[in-house]
Each structure stands twice: as C-alpha cells, then as structure tokens.
Amino acid sequence: MQIIRHPAEMTAWAKEQAKAGHRIGLVPTMGFFHEGHLSLMRRAGQLADFVAVSLFVNPTQFGPQEDLAAYPRNFERDCAMVEAAGVSVLFAPIAAEMYPAGFSTTVAVGAELTGQLCGASRPGHFAGVATVVCKLFNIVQPDVAVFGQKDFQQLAVIRRMTADLNLGVEIVAHPIVREADGLAMSSRNTYLLPQQRESALSLSRALALARTIAAEGERSTERLTTVLRDFIHSFPETEVDYISFVHQDTLQQVAEIDEKTVIALAVKIGGRVRLIDNGLVL
C-alpha cells in the first residue's frame, strides 16, 4: 500500500489509473478506523479496481467550540488496518497543503439541506464538509465514492453538491455498522466513559422504540417525538440535541410518517460526547 502525502502526487497516481482504464473508488475519512470504515473500504473494493482512502481531520468542518484538537488519531494503527483491508493508497495530506496561505473558497449547499438537523447545531459544518469533499474528489478523481449512512445529512449534502457541480462521481451509501449491542460505530465512541456506554445506547433503542410504536399504527411525528424525548432522557447524562422525522431525500420535516420517513437523532452524553443515529421508521 502506498501512503501519499501531497495532493499533486495523489492526482498523478489517479491520472495514471485513468489512463490504464482502471476505476478508482474513494472512501473519505477522518481516520481512527473502526469496522464501519472497513466495511466502506470493502464496499469500494467491490465497485472499483483500486481503492483510495483519504485520511484528513478537516479543520474547516469543526466549530470553534468543537473537538478538533481532541479528535482521536492513531496513524500507525490506521495504516495497518487499511493495508489489511486491501486498500491501494492512503492519502493523508497535511492541512497546510489542503488550505495554503490565501485559501478563500467555500462550497456551500443551500439551507433546504443544511439549515436543520446537524446544520442547526453546527453552523458552517456542512460548508466545511462540502468544500473538502469537492477538493478530495478533484484530487483523487474517483469514479465512485462510498459514504456511511450514519452521516445521513452529510450524504444528502454530498449527493447534491456532486450533482450540482457536475463532479461526475457516483455516490454510494453504505448502511450503518453497529456494535453487537446496537450502538452505531463512531470514532467519537472512544470518548465515552464506561458508565456512559449504557446511555449511548439510548439512540439505537429510541430508533427501535419508534419502529415498534409506528408498527402499531402511530403516524404522528409530534406524539412520537414526545415519547422518544422522554425515553432518551430516562437514561442518565443524556441531552437531546434533536429528534427529527424527515423525508429521506429532501430532509424536510414531516408531520406524518410514511415509507420515506427517516428518524434522525442527535444526543449529547455527559455534556461532552455528541452522538448521532438514524434510520427509516417503517
């Protein structure tokens, strides 16, 4: 496996692959890999001849009060894991080459997709995501890119940006990978103290509860939201950021559940660890 640090070198590799008629699959990540990431890489391997994984903790998608400095990192372990997953290139640029002096361009998707859910509590986050993914697509020139469905709003934003800017990259969504107890895998799970683990399960259990109640015939998202909020707050140290029922494509709030309704949750555990989860209700 090649480790590439410089954008120009990454693009040179990509152009060689294109010339040889090889398809490139990209998995953009912020590192600190878990089984969720590895499943994205394996999926990319099924869809392309060569898989490139980008590892870049992108400063512009973190807010000033967020966990950029503390975000978990372990480069050596990450290298070993992607190598074992059959990845051809690990692209790990430094911030000064991604955002050199004078950098001043922003790619932003409109408020229809970015003004609610995580966009409401993390202003600027999705512009940071759209900008860095646009750059990564131009640097790595993939035919296909695989993203996890856990970052459900991010996926909608990237699909929109890719179509709108004619980036010509096929976007593939991969299902959420969970621990045996149902917790959605996330690099941020490592922030949880042992006694907070049970509270972190409030998200996936709230999804299950919503499905059970909906299966019994409930369609009102207002009534469901009240039940779920109480349910989540019955776990210690939990604070609901949002409980939203939205259309899977438009991300617009719905009053009544149907087959296209996704429930999306964000919960802060111990005032410190913000976790998200989501899924179709029916």
Closer residue to a second copy in complex, CB, 65/105: 105
Closer residue to a second copy in complex, CB, 60/187: 60
Q: Minimum distance from CB of 18 to a second copy (Å)?
A: 8
Check residue 92 for interaction with a second copy (CB under 8 A).
no
H-helix or E-strand spanning residue 174? strand 170-174
Q: Which stretch binds a second copy (CB under 8 A): 100-108, 183-191, 200-208, 269-277?
A: 100-108
Q: Minimum distance from CB of 50 to a second copy (Å)?
A: 18
Q: Which stretch binds a second copy (CB under 8 A): 55-63, 77-85, 130-138, 239-247?
A: 130-138
Q: Which of 51, 53, 57, 139 binds a second copy (CB under 8 A)?
A: 139
Q: Pick the catalytic residue: 37, 125, 174, 247?
A: 37
H helices of 167-274, in order, are 197-215, 221-233
Q: What Cα–Cα distance (Å) separates residue 215 from each residue in 52, 259, 265?
A: 41, 12, 19
Instruction: Specify whether the CB–CB gap between 145 and 26 falls below 8 A.
Output: yes
Q: Minimum distance from CB of 103 to a second copy (Å)?
A: 5
Binding residues: 30-37, 61, 148-151, 154, 177, 185-188
Check residue 117 for interaction with a second copy (CB under 8 A).
no
Q: Which of 47, 120, 165, 209 binds a second copy (CB under 8 A)?
A: 165
H-helix or E-strand spanning residue 111? helix 111-114
Q: Which stretch binds a second copy (CB under 8 A): 108-116, 193-201, 237-245, 258-266?
A: 108-116
Closer residue to a second copy in complex, CB, 22/42: 22
Bridge partner list, 247: 261
Check residue 106 for interaction with a second copy (CB under 8 A).
yes
> Which tokens belong to 54?
């980008």
Q: What Cα–Cα distance (Å) separates residue 102 from each residue in 96, 98, 131, 176?
A: 11, 11, 15, 38
Q: Minimum distance from CB of 145 to a second copy (Å)?
A: 15
Q: Look at residue 134 and give its three-state secondary structure.
A: helix
Closer residue to a second copy in complex, CB, 75/103: 103
Buried/exposed 65-95: b ≥16 CB within 10 Å, e otherwise: eeeeeebeeeeeebbebbeebebbbbbbbee
DSSP-derived letter for residue 175 is P
Residue 174 is a catalytic residue? no
Q: What Cα–Cα distance (Å) separates residue 247 from each residue in 13, 90, 122?
A: 39, 35, 21
Q: Minimum distance from CB of 113 to a second copy (Å)?
A: 7
Q: What DSSP line would sit under 15-30, residue for residue?
A: HHHHHTT--EEEEEE-
Q: Which stretch binds a second copy (CB under 8 A): 51-59, 79-87, 101-109, 145-153?
A: 101-109
H-helix or E-strand spanning residue 75? helix 75-84
Q: Minimum distance from CB of 146 to a second copy (Å)?
A: 20
> Which tokens belong to 132?
């860095």
Q: Which residues are catalytic?
A: 37
Query: Contact positions toward a second copy, by CB under 8 A?
Result: 7, 11, 18, 102-110, 112-113, 130-131, 134-135, 138-139, 160-161, 164-168
